[in-house]
Amino acid sequence: MRRVLTIVLFALLPFVATAQMVIGGSEQEVEQSLRKFNQFFYYLDALYVDTVDHSSVTEEAIRAVLAELDPHSAYVTAEEMVDVENEFSGSFSGVGIEFDILNDTLSVVSTIAGGPSEQLGMVAGDKIIAIDSESAVGITQNDVRKRLRGPKGSVVELDVVRRGMKEPLRFRVVRDDIPIETVDAAYQIAPNIGYVKVNRFADNTMDELREAINKTGATEGLILDLRGNGGGLLTQAVEMGSFFLPAGKKVVSIEGRSVPKTNYGSELAGDYSKPRLVVLIDSSSASASEIVSGAVQDWDRGVLIGQPTYGKGLVQRQIPLSDNSAVRITVAHYYTPSGRAIQRPYENGKAEEYYIDHVRRSVDEHYRDSVNQNLPAYRTLNSGRTVYGGGGVEPDLYIPIDTTRNFAYWSALSGAGVINELVNVYLDEERGRLERRYPTFEAFVEGYSLPDDFQQRLIDLGEERGVAYNPDKVGNSLSDTAYLLKALVARKLWGTTEYYRIVHANEDPELDMAIDVICSPERYYELLAPPAE
């Protein structure tokens, strides 16, 4: 598998590193610091009373140095790099199943369409009892990944117990490339209006987005959901921004002490530069998401709805180290087309305060207003609307978070794994009956409701897992979230698009507003018009 040499947002930029390369302090200062550290390490190894774990000490030293810098420079272990490469390359080599571990048993939750396991006939509900003749009972999540993933073309044998069959089945699975999809959901939400939710920016994101738009029949407009999207590859953010913009429009520029100012955009008009566009954002929309939403706003190309974004306007370069680990070092700031810096204020070495500030901005409107009152103002490039820099991207239509609903008990059950476990057990028992009774998703939406005893089963399993049930504190939270349980059942039966369709139909004020705006051309263009004199 190729190495992912990225700038984390992420971006691919030229980088040359040599032992003699000194950009900051003088070469003499760098040599003195290295000599001092080498002396320390030598005497630590030679004189310390106990044996020193050199690898661990070195890693902690790197982390300690980075902790004194900005909050986004970071160290990535060799083990973590494997997952990073898979995530941003858009695929890995494996058997193609989604799994869960229930009562020490490895269960197949679903098979990936077209993947090697599905092609051999494995189905949801199968229990994997052995991997290459070695028992899988009591296996951990990490061990499952290690043993099921491997080089493309290699073979793994899985022994499977299936409901209704007396003897275990043996599957000889040839590992193949398994896509990691970045589009969570795509469907037509109104006549000729598409909805697409993108969870991150990876190598395959734009291919997925184009396919999703074609699938949804979004000829008149698109709702692009970037809520919860923490970013990814700069190259994909630039391509997505260009996809929505007319010819010759800048998407973003980056600049740093060692990185000359560079503008990114496209000379050609984007394939989706004319239909109406609404972008949903929230406090977890960061980095690459902010590049796209900032460009859309600066060029008055679409309407942003939701809450202010995270405010991560720093660019990290990911540099591989000799043991396959890596460091991500901040090398530049990025700026929207109008010149806005999106990065929130921070102090080097104070990452904890930085993240606390993010939480407070997310939940406390008064706090956010107080820290944002002196932000620099800019003008959008077509209509001259006022926008602000230095604190994330502000939506054109702000929808406050609903803090009146009580999700604490639901969150506790979910965090303890109770909800996922019970839904999986329920489907293990009822999948066949449900598939026969509801052959289509539409039939499921129309006719399905949770069993009468499901809520009590949740409460009982929660008590077993240490989640206490107090009716006075819980209130109506379980009945209020019944639609989420129905959505989870739909996800296990059909997929994430069907999950979101049920969620959206029950509770999503930002999406409701987006539909109202995009389905009303008069209101849509009024929001993007120049301010009245």
What confidence score (pLDDT) does residue 355 get? 79
Q: Does residue 493 sit in the same domain as residue 431? A: yes
Q: Do 471 and 328 belong together in one domain?
A: no
Together in a domain, 359 and 469: no
Give the span between the Cα atoms of 397 and 399, in whole angstroms.
7
Task: Please tell me which residue, 395 or 408, carries the higher pLDDT value.
Answer: 395
Residue 485 pLDDT > 80: yes
Residue 426 pLDDT more than 60?
yes
Question: What value does the mean pLDDT take over residues 30-46?
Answer: 90
User: Would you state the pLDDT for residue 305?
Assistant: 98
Do 292 and 188 have their domain in common? Answer: yes
Tell me if residue 350 is catalytic.
no
Q: Is the model's pLDDT at 367 over the cut of 80? A: no
Provide the pLDDT for residue 9: 52
Q: Which DSSP helix (H) or strand (E) runs through 274?
A: none
pLDDT digits (tens, 9 = 90+) for 81-123: 887 877 777 778 899 888 878 778 898 877 877 788 888 888 8
Please give the model's pTM, rounded to 2 decimal places: 0.84
pLDDT band at 7 (very low <50, low <70, confident <90, very high): very low
Assess if residue 531 is contained within a domain: no
In a domain, 85, yes or no: no
**249 lies in the same domain as 288:** yes
Q: What is the pLDDT of residue 402?
A: 78
What's the rounded mean pLDDT across residues 419-434? 89
The contacts of residue 482 (CB under 8 Å, 6+ apart) are 450, 455
pLDDT at 479: 76
| 56 vs 17, higher pLDDT | 56
pLDDT for 2:
37
Nearest alpha-carbon partner for 153 in 176, 130, 173: 176
Give the pLDDT score at 22: 46
Ranking 199-203, 344-348, 393-397 by mean pLDDT, the lowest is 344-348
* Percent of the chain residues past pLDDT 70, beyond the cut: 93
Query: Annotated catalytic residue: which of 287, 289, 293, 325?
Result: 287
Dist. CA 145–CA 127, nearest whole Å: 16
Share of the chain above pLDDT 90, in %: 58
Q: Which residues of 490-512 are buried (b: 16+ CB within 10 A; e: fewer)?
A: bbbbbbbbbbbbbbbeeebebbe
Instruction: Determine the angle formed by the axes of helices 482-493 and 496-506, rounding to 10 degrees.
Output: 160
Q: How many domains does the chain have?
A: 3
Q: Which CATH number covers residue 350?
A: 3.90.226.10
Q: Tell me if 304 is assigned to some domain.
A: yes
Task: Give the highest mean pLDDT range of 59-63, 86-90, 274-278, 391-395.
Answer: 274-278
Give the domain extent around 434.
408-511
The predicted-structure confidence for 205-259, as pLDDT tens digits, reads as follows 999 999 999 999 999 999 999 999 999 999 999 999 999 999 999 999 999 999 9
What does the DSSP assignment read for 127-172?
A: EEEEETTEE-TT--HHHHHHHH--STT-EEEEEEE-TT-SS-EEEE
- For residue 19, the model assigns a pLDDT of 36
Residue 440 scores a pLDDT above 90: yes
Going along 428-516, which residue ranges are E strands?
none
Tell me, yes or no, whether 155 and 106 share the same domain: yes
Q: What is the pLDDT of residue 1?
A: 38
Are 209 and 294 in a shared domain? yes
Q: Which of 312, 325, 486, 492 is catalytic?
A: 312
Q: Among residues 176, 203, 298, 300, which one is catalytic?
A: 298
pLDDT surpasses 80 at 363: no
CATH code of the domain in which 118 resides: 2.30.42.10
Say whether pLDDT at 10 is over 60: no
Residues in CB range of 348: below 8 A, 6 or more apart: 68, 69, 70
pLDDT at 507: 85
375 and 470 both lie in a single domain: no
pLDDT in the model for residue 14? 34
Task: Specify the pLDDT at position 15.
Answer: 34
Q: Is 287 one of the catalytic residues?
A: yes
Query: Residues 309-345: pLDDT tens digits?
Result: 999 999 999 999 999 999 999 999 999 999 999 998 8
